[in-house]
Structure 1
Amino acid sequence: MEQIGLSIALIVALFTLLGSGLWVALSLLGIALFAMMAFTNAPTGLVLATTTWGSSNSWALASLPLFIWMGEILFRSRLSEDMFAGLAPWLNRLPGRLLHVNVLGCGVFAAVSGSSAATAATIGKMSIPELDRHGYPPIMSIGTLAGSGTLGLLIPPSIILIVYGVATEESIARLFIAGVLPGLLLVALFMGYVIAWSLIYPARIPPAQDDMTFAERFHQTRRLIPILLLIAGVIGSIYLGIASPTDAAAVGVLLSLVLSWGSGTLTWKTLADSLMGATRTSCMIAFILAGAAFLTVAMGFTGIPRLLAEWIGSLGLSPVMLIAALTVFFIVLGCFLDGISVVVLTTAVILPMIEQAGIDKIWFGIYVVLVVEMAQITPPVGFNLFVLQGLTGRNILYVAKAALPFFFLLLLAVVLIVVFPEIATYLPQRMSER
């Protein structure tokens, strides 16, 4: 009973610190220090030093800044323009027409970015003016971007999957491969929704304006070749076992520099800006991971995770009921924190419950990313909503309304991977058999 009261007190204190606007990493460190000093006899300073070093001294973590830098380089290249030009001619006859460019464009960019916000911003800067010029309804052009932008968290190389893999000591390569089929599932669900909406409201979709011949379309498609080769180089080398995620990230940076140089967008300024952007993001994530690692150790000393795991076990919840409860928990938590913070904050407490319930940790990683994706388009702290508000100038409530159908599609995807877990586990199992 005393430990339950302690856990409630720590949770209240943590949300108080987060609500005050204090950095997430400092909030985690502060709560961990308080728990260690007030409720344990462990040498707090020594534990802090060794834990912080241990969380930073990880070779798997080396892929993180490299993938972030790769995304920053491509963010400043002509990539989105080339994707729009390459995809649009082939989608003009499909119900929904150019709205599908948002979905497929985000899917393609997600495979080289790893960031939800960068995916939404990069594709949005190119597609929103084009869609507005052609007369597409803003609620659909914004909604498809909000939903499809979340693919940056799932389709490898995913930054959040790297963070999850480091926090749980799971194989990042297997997590990357596990994200492929769920990512394609989401693309199919989003495109299916656009087709259904367009068939219900055909008058709101502008008529086709494409009079290209097949040869002209094929000629436009060549602009997709460099980025497809980059995706094949990064993801294919990991799946075939040729390269580790860190090696593949280094190759990806090199190829993205070549791609940016070839498109004429690589200058000293864009190179410096990409390095600074990658450094800021990497340092922020590393700081959060250090704070979370110390909180994990502190929670271990207090015995709270073990107590919660035993309590969950005593309730006799089935794995499905546990996942349903965790879904609500993650969505609520995601209303106040960004995705990376949600993962590192909850890993220490949630993982013992998952292991006790016999749930596969690779599958659970994909599940966590899906529910965090839902949080990306949930007010008041849905990062994709803020990105699109900045791009469009629309009211945040309008953007949230546009994103709502895609929130439910993400929820449907969660249901599907619960019912058919092989969607997330089939490719990692095949990879292990190699």
Structure 2
Amino acid sequence: MIADPLILAVILITVMFVFLLSSLWIGVSLMLTGIIGMLIYDHNLPPVISIFDKVGDLLASSLYDAMNSWSLAALPMFILMGEILYKSSISAKLLNGLRPWLSHIPGGLLHVNVAACSLFAAVSGSSTATTATVGKITLDELQKRGYSKHLAMGSLAGSGTLGYLIPPSLIMIIYGVMADVSIGKLFLAGLLPGLLMASLYSFYIMYKAKVDPSVLPANEEKYTWSDKLHSLKDLAPIFLLISLVLGSIYGGYATPTEAAALGVLGSLILAAYFKAVSLEILKNALLNSIRTSVMIGFIIAGAVFLSQVIGFLGIARAMSEFITGLGLTPMMLILIIGIMYIILGMILEAISIVVMTLPIVLPIVVLAGFDPLWFGVFLVFMVEMAQITPPVGFSLFVIQSISNEKIQTILKATFPFFILMIVTVVIITVFPEIVFFLPDQMIK
């Protein structure tokens, strides 16, 4: 039996990675890690059965606590909304509506990836769905029109990650439930940083277009004001859906869960309006939503159990005291944590990173003086990087399947946007007011 919490922490982290590398389900890996931690801890309980009783009680209570959350009910609703939009042709309407408005900007239709991803992120909540949906429409189209495929792939990879940052965000819902932070405030807090990062992407595209005209076609298409006004019939319904979901939350008319249900209804009406709905589409959307929701729920349940074990064994407190004893400044601490997340992003996907690290990291950053609301946005940026870092960058695989390019080529195209993501993280760390501005103004 082991009593030292720091030794226990090292053992449990090692055990967890062994389970993950053995291809066990993530939820099972987290639960087994927690059970092993309980069994090897020195409980000073004479009969062995008492330890198993304690493990069983904690596992049962944590599973109930993990799933007994009204806020968590928003998760399957937002997933279903994104699936309906993804399976129907609504995303193609979005692209057609954006073209006339972006053609005159330096970089032309290369900005479509940034704008389309930003808008689709505001109704899907998933980076993978955003990247796949927009990429299937834009990559071939941009290449046919003579735009640089290299820059198109890079901007798609970077912009696709906005699905986690611009509300509604699945990662923010998970973080809010686990960290006990208002999901409405998290949605507000992520809006300005998301727009900031999208703006940096567009400025980079404009810069590349100026210094290297070869990324643009020789003869760009010209659109009249008549074309722009005509395109509003494709854009207006999508903007209405975004306004319905986000406006109902920020206006105080609905909780995030209720707004998610409104979003599903709105997406169905939108699909019917565009004549893009069928029983087959609804069936596939429902099945995919169930699969994704159950997977995420199982992972959250395992993470909550492991979190309670970590608290029960005193690991979180011991690690917080250890970090405090190192005498690190808050900025040094957040730098080390950021590097840790970038490394984790190379081997784990986004949801796994959040649920596995939050029980240990959150108490440490709060003790260092960081606001949990700000850290939620910071963490979203970190898991966004996981989407475009090899070898487990999901967005990279999505783009590879769409473009049929080598992963090395995609990585090279993505690297400038990865750097811009880091620049955005530095800006919100130095100027945290960017994160707090909208929550302070709109939620008193």
Residue from 112, 120, 123 that aligns with 2:131: 120
User: How far has the Cα of 1:264 moved from its partner?
Assistant: 1.3
Match of 2:4 in 1: 2
Report the CA distance shift for 1:208/1:220 in structure 2 as closer, same or farther (over 3 A).
farther
Q: Is the 8 A contact 2:171 2:351 kept in 1?
A: yes
Amino acid across the alignment from 1:20:
S
Distance in structure 1 (CA, Å) of the matches to 2:42 and 2:80 = 41
Match of 1:26 in 2: 28
Match of 1:169 in 2: 180
Match of 2:13 in 1: 11
Q: How is 1:262-411 mapped onto 2 (pairs within 5 angstroms)? A: 262-411=273-422
Q: Verify: 1:58 aligned to 2:69, yes or no.
A: yes
| Aligned partner of residue 224 in structure 1, secondary structure | helix
Q: Is the 8 A contact 2:151 2:215 kept in 1?
A: no
Residue from 251, 255, 278 that aligns with 2:266: 255
Match of 2:250 in 1: 239
323-332 or 88-97: bigger deviation: 88-97
Match of 2:47 in 1: none
User: How far has the Cα of 1:320 moved from its partner?
Assistant: 1.0
User: How far has the Cα of 1:212 moved from its partner?
Assistant: 2.9
Distance in structure 2 (CA, Å) of the matches to 1:126 and 1:402 = 19
Amino acid across the alignment from 1:37:
L
Distance in structure 1 (CA, Å) of the matches to 2:39 and 2:149 = 54
Residue from 214, 220, 244 that aligns with 1:209: 220
Match of 2:144 in 1: 133
Report the CA distance shift for 1:138/1:91 in structure 2 as closer, same or farther (over 3 A).
same
Amino acid across the alignment from 2:177:
V
Distance in structure 1 (CA, Å) of the matches to 2:195 and 2:248 = 19
Amino acid across the alignment from 2:340:
F
| Aligned partner of residue 443 in structure 2, secondary structure | helix
User: How far has the Cα of 1:213 moved from its partner?
Assistant: 1.9
287-296 or 332-341: bigger deviation: 332-341
- Give the unaligned 5+ runs of structure 2: 44-50
User: How far has the Cα of 1:317 moved from its partner?
Assistant: 1.5
Tell me how many residue pairs correspond in the alignment.
Answer: 433
Distance in structure 2 (CA, Å) of the matches to 1:208 and 1:225 = 29
Amino acid across the alignment from 2:224:
T
Q: How is 1:166-205 mapped onto 2 (pairs within 5 angstroms)? A: 166-205=177-216
Amino acid across the alignment from 2:308:
V
Cα deviation per residue 1:335-372 (whole Å; 9 max; x = unaligned)?
11111111111111011111111111111000000111
Match of 2:239 in 1: 228
Distance in structure 2 (CA, Å) of the matches to 1:381 and 1:4 = 29
Distance in structure 2 (CA, Å) of the matches to 1:332 and 1:203 = 35
Cα deviation per residue 1:187-246 (whole Å; 9 max; x = unaligned)?
101101101111110133113432332122211132100000000111111111111001
Amino acid across the alignment from 1:243:
A
Distance in structure 1 (CA, Å) of the matches to 2:214 and 2:156 = 21
User: How far has the Cα of 1:38 moved from its partner?
Assistant: 1.6
Match of 1:78 in 2: 89
Q: Is the 8 A contact 1:40 1:301 kept in 2?
A: no
Cα deviation per residue 1:30-89 (whole Å; 9 max; x = unaligned)?
100100122154510111011101100110100000000000000012222111111111
Match of 2:46 in 1: none
| Aligned partner of residue 373 in structure 2, secondary structure | helix
| Aligned partner of residue 370 in structure 2, secondary structure | coil
Q: Is the 8 A contact 1:97 1:208 kept in 2?
A: no
47-56 or 196-205: bigger deviation: 196-205
- The normalised TM-score by structure 2 is 0.96
Distance in structure 1 (CA, Å) of the matches to 2:220 and 2:443 = 48
User: How far has the Cα of 1:25 moved from its partner?
Assistant: 0.9
- Give the unaligned 5+ runs of structure 1: none
Q: Is the 8 A contact 1:112 1:231 kept in 2?
A: yes
| Aligned partner of residue 322 in structure 1, secondary structure | helix
Q: Is the 8 A contact 2:103 2:223 kept in 1?
A: no
- Give the superposed CA RMSD: 1.1
Amino acid across the alignment from 2:57:
L
Q: Which runs of 4+ in 1 moved over 6 A?
A: none
User: How far has the Cα of 1:126 moved from its partner?
Assistant: 0.7
Q: Is the 8 A contact 1:85 1:221 kept in 2?
A: no
Q: Is the 8 A contact 1:121 1:388 kept in 2?
A: yes
Distance in structure 1 (CA, Å) of the matches to 2:88 and 2:410 = 27
Residue from 145, 154, 164 that aligns with 1:143: 154
Cα deviation per residue 1:240-266 (whole Å; 9 max; x = unaligned)?
111100110010000000001111111
Q: Is the 8 A contact 2:103 2:222 kept in 1?
A: no
Report the CA distance shift for 1:213/1:431 in structure 2 as closer, same or farther (over 3 A).
closer
Q: How is 1:152-167 mapped onto 2 (pairs within 5 angstroms)? A: 152-167=163-178
User: How far has the Cα of 1:314 moved from its partner?
Assistant: 1.1
| Aligned partner of residue 98 in structure 1, secondary structure | helix
Q: Is the 8 A contact 2:117 2:134 kept in 1?
A: yes
Distance in structure 1 (CA, Å) of the matches to 2:106 and 2:42 = 62
Match of 2:48 in 1: none
Q: Is the 8 A contact 1:371 1:410 kept in 2?
A: no
